[in-house]
Structure 1
Amino acid sequence: MSQHTPIGLKNETQIIKALTHSGNFHADETMGYVILHYACSPQGDLRKRILSSHIDGDRLTFTRSRSPQVIEKADIVFDVGGIYNPAEGRYDHHMRNKPIRDNGIPYSAAGLLWKDYGLTAVRNLVQTPVDEETILQIWEAIDQSLITPIDQDDNGVAKMGKLSLADIVSACSPPWDTAELYGEDEALKKENLGFANAATAVAAHLVNTVDRIRASLKATNRVIEAYQQAEDKRILIMDTGMPTAKVIFDRDLPVVYVVSPSGKQWNVKAIPPTKGDFGQRVPLPESWAGLERNELARISGVKDAVFAHPARFICGAESKEGAIRMAQLSLQIFDTLKGKK
């Protein structure tokens, strides 16, 4: 993270001239622009700013150019210019001595801007009140899961892959023969429109990612709290449906079944042996497989039992108490069968 106050964050009324290169665009400078938008002028029109030379009331202006004279006049220059000097608002990474992360991965323009402006962007993006520690955790999660892959892709370390954010950005570029077909002026318009489309897609992804990580951190706290309160640590009872598997595997919890509401009923979901695998640590009883309502209630002894999947990884009851009872009975049957072997 930044060791200085980045340009534009100390004085919130300062007009900021941001610039990246013209021509072919990629995920790193597109994300870089989106980061600056949310850090410096989140109320501005992200798309219109790209397509218009001036917007009244917007403290952030944005230009795409390779002209040395235009670059020199900009306050923040990223992915072009040959200089990395954040105190002066210069964020290029194409030099021989390029900026490198502590883990050895070279920074892209997106990574450099996220380092300086990312925390402010996250604060502006979070829609519900959270503490500063959560803001930092969101910043770190996005740095690891989204920004670092962009750094790797842009520096030729590792491709993000098909249908990745990098691929989506590239797909917004006009075809190679646009100038040949429509002329230079029209090609430039189509290029700017493509960048606007790419920035819109990247912005939507960033907004959703911030909110999903916020919710994931919230879920982590609730899962741990529920686990601590559980009488039988093999049965995790959640009063609200939310992701639980990541916490179970990350914390190496011995949870076998998760009981949680789903619509008008409560389900019991079996946890797989390892993250991402099929199968179950403890399958539901074979005698329940594929049964529904009356027949399942008769076999299981749970009066409000609703269903048991043939694959034995999920079952449900009408009530919370019924679902908990199904989880308990399933473990009793498993323990009995295991003891007979």
Structure 2
Amino acid sequence: MSNHTPIGLENGSAPVTALTHSGNFHVDETMGYVILHYALAPQGDLRARVLEEKSADRLTFIRTRNPDIIKSADIVFDVGGLYDPPHGRYDHHMKDKPLREDGTPYSAAGLLWKDYGHAAIRNILNTAADDATVDLIWQSLDKSLILPIDQDDNGVVKMGKLSLADIVSACSPPWDTAELYGRQEARARESLGFANAATAVASHLINVVDRIRASLKATNRVIAAYESAEDKRILVMETGMPTEKVIFEHDLPVVYVVSPAGPEQWNVKAVPPVRGDFGQRVSLPEAWGGLERDRLASVSGVSDAVFAHPARFICGATSREGAIRMAQLALQIAGV
């Protein structure tokens, strides 16, 4: 969170010119542009600005290395040789480059995220969110998405193939574009590539923000369900949602999660011993494994039992009560 009011956020209608370098582009300046788009002018046309088409909003976006144009821009990132946030300068290529608290060098994306990330998140969210929720989303994205971009751009750790960095890189025109089509066409294809990359990054950012929002909502519901549970080993969720992350982060002694899997089925899923593992803290009964409907109902004693996976990590019944009964029986049979 910045200690100053970033340029463009002090007045929601004043025009702002943002600038980054032309030529080869990477994920950090592409993400930087996307962050500014959502923070300052989310109703504008993300692609039209890049392609220098008409975009009737307050944000003007320029890609150039011309020193005079760089000096005149309001916000300059990933170029210019200055890190001076109060004056809208966000480069990180200097010898005395800005660092995170853990010593990781910032990229342009990380620097802009510090100042504009919260505003971007607020404009991306479709539902009202308080400051604490927005900050939790900011922190989660900073750790899971922005930090890896900082690391990749500074040569600390590569994001790898099929990462966001690789997707952005693939949008760049091949090295021989000018040789094949001429300089003017090469410049046009470079702008088109950046526009395509920005569109991909924007879609990813929107999706990740929404997933984190939903994850925070799930955390509250899981904790509430756990606190109201009669048997703390059985977590009953009235709506399907991710629970494993919450169970392990809060060290809950849950063995089975019961939740709806459709309009006419409730499932019992065994919690693994370690988050993301394929094992189970307590496997479902061996006698149930691979059975379905009548055979399973006969063996388990639950009349509406539907199935039990051969690997014994999940089973189900047509009713909520039937699924809860299966979980209770599985604990009794296991003797825990």
TM-score normalised according to structure 1 size? 0.97
1:247-268, Cα deviation, whole Å (9 max, x unpaired): 1111111111000000120000
1:137-183: CA deviation from partner (whole Å, max 9, x where unpaired): 00111111100000000011101111000000000000000000001
1:64 deviates by: 0.3
- State the alpha-carbon separation in 2 of the partners of residues 318 and 58 from structure 1: 53
Which stretch shows the higher mean deviation, 271-280 or 35-44?
Answer: 271-280
User: What secondary structure, in the 3-state scheme, does the structure 2 residue paired with 1:333 have?
Assistant: helix
- Cα separation, partners in 2 of 1:44 and 1:129, compared to 1, 3 Å: same
Given that residues 48 and 54 in structure 2 are in contact (C-alpha distance below 8 angstroms), is that contact kept between their aligned partners in structure 1? Answer: no
Aligned partner of 2:251 in structure 1 is 252
Q: What is the Cα deviation at residue 32 of structure 1?
A: 0.1
Q: What CA distance in whole angstroms lies between the structure 2 residues aligned with 1:176 and 1:62?
A: 25
Partner of 2:291: 291
Q: 2: distance between equivalents of 1:232 and 1:105?
A: 45
2:185 paired residue number: 186
Paired letter, 1:67? N
Q: Distance in 1 between matches of 2:53 and 2:324?
A: 62
In 2, Cα distance between equivalents of 1:325 and 1:53: 63
Amino acid at match of 1:35: I
Q: 5 Å matches for 1:1-341?
A: 1-52=1-52, 54-55=54-55, 57-263=56-262, 264-335=264-335
TM (norm. structure 2) is 0.99
> What secondary structure is seen at the aligned counterpart in 2 of 1:236?
strand
Q: Distance in 2 between matches of 1:100 and 1:329?
A: 55
Kept in 2: contact 1:18–1:74 (CA 8 A): yes
CA root-mean-square deviation: 0.8
Residue type matched to 2:67 in 1? P
Residues in 1 aligned to 2:259 and 2:54: alpha-carbon distance in whole angstroms: 52
Cα deviation digits, residues 97-139 of structure 1 (max 9, x gap): 0000111111100000000000000000111122221011001
Which runs of structure 1 show a deviation greater than 6 angstroms over 4 or more consecutive aligned residues?
Answer: none
User: How far apart in 1 are the matches of 2:288 and 2:59?
Assistant: 62
Question: What is the letter of the counterpart of residue 251 of structure 2?
Answer: D
**Offset at residue 201 of structure 1 (A):** 0.1
Question: How far does the alpha carbon of each residue in 1:292-339 deviate from its partner, in whole angstroms, 9 at most, with x for none?
Answer: 11111111010100010111000000000000000000000000xx7x
Q: How far does the alpha carbon of each residue in 1:227-281 deviate from its partner, in whole angstroms, 9 at most, with x for none?
A: 1111111110000000000011111111110000001200000011101111111
Q: Which runs of 5+ in 2 are unaligned?
A: none
Post-superposition offset of 1:52: 1.4
Maintained 8 Å contact 1:54/1:61: no
Amino acid paired to 2:324: I
In structure 2, C-alpha distance between the alignment counterparts of 1:305 and 1:188, rounded to whole Å: 64
Q: What secondary structure does 1:199 align onto?
A: helix
Looking at structure 2, the residues matched to 61 and 233 of structure 1 have their Cα atoms a distance apart, in angstroms, of 56
| Preserved CA contact (<8 Å) 2:31 2:198 | yes
In 1: Cα distance, 2:212 partner to 2:230 partner? 29
SS at match of 1:284: coil
Which stretch of the first structure deviates more once superposed, 272-281 or 192-201? Answer: 272-281
Cα distance between partner residues in 2 of 1:13 and 1:303: 64
Judge conservation of contact 2:21–2:64 (CA < 8 Å) in 1: yes
Matched-pair contact (CA < 8 Å) for 1:160–1:166? yes
SS of corresponding position for 1:321:
helix
Deviations 1:13-37, CA, capped at 9 Å, x for gaps? 1110000000000000000000000
Q: Distance between the aligned counterparts of 1:115 and 1:222, measured in 2?
A: 30
Counterpart amino acid of residue 228 in structure 1:
E
Offset at 1:69?
0.8
Q: Amino acid of the residue matched to residue 273 of structure 1?
A: P
Deviation at 1:39, TM superposition (A): 0.2
Q: State the 1:58 CA deviation.
A: 1.0
Q: Aligned partners of 1:61, 1:149: CA distance in 2, in Å?
A: 28
**Contact 2:78–2:91 at 8 Å: present in 1 too?**
yes
The alignment covers a number of residue pairs equal to: 335
- Offset, 1:53: 5.3
SS at match of 1:129: coil
Query: Would the aligned equivalents of 2:239 and 2:259 in 1 still touch at CA under 8 Å?
Result: yes
